[in-house]
Amino acid sequence: MSFETNDQLSPEFLSLNPNNKIPAILDPQGPGGQPLALFESGAILVYLAEKTGRLLPKDPAARYETLQWVMFQMGGVGPMFGQLGFFHKFAGKDYEDKRPRDRYVAESRRLLKVLDQHRPAASG
């Protein structure tokens, strides 16, 4: 799969992910031994964690704490850093108005501060 050749728009890839983004997976040994196609990084991570019995704690409180940081990544870090990359590196020179870039810089810094200040509970 290469973005340079727009493979994400091919019928084969769109059959896996109609949203034409990576990541997407096809597990030939999905539930019931049937193939399973999945997109969205969070859904893929939860699926793989449950399939392998790793990464997601069994303890409910720890499990939801883990899931909240997965959602934080999907809803915060991923989109904000992506927009920052667009305005700062890839297309920034095409925009005279620097307010969009500055907004994503500020929001990305804020998200990093949240991570820096987070002290995970001790795990065994």
Q: Which ranges in 27-98 belong to alpha helices (H)?
A: 41-52, 60-72, 78-85
Q: Does 49 bind ligand GSH (CB under 6 A)?
A: no
Query: Which of residues 25, 27, 36, 41 is near ligand GSH by CB under 6 A?
Result: 41
State the minimum distance, in angstroms, from the CB of residue 111 to ligand GSH.
15
Distance between CA atoms of residues 103 and 114, nearest Å: 17
For 21, residues 6+ apart whose C-beta sits below 8 A from its C-beta are 8, 39
| Cβ distance to ligand GSH smaller for residue 21 or 109 | 21
Q: Which stretch binds ligand GSH (CB under 6 A): 19-27, 29-37, 84-92, 108-116?
A: 19-27
- CA 74, 2, 105 angle in degrees (round to 5)? 40
Site residues (vs ligand GSH, CB under 6 A):
3, 8, 21-23, 40-41, 74, 78, 82
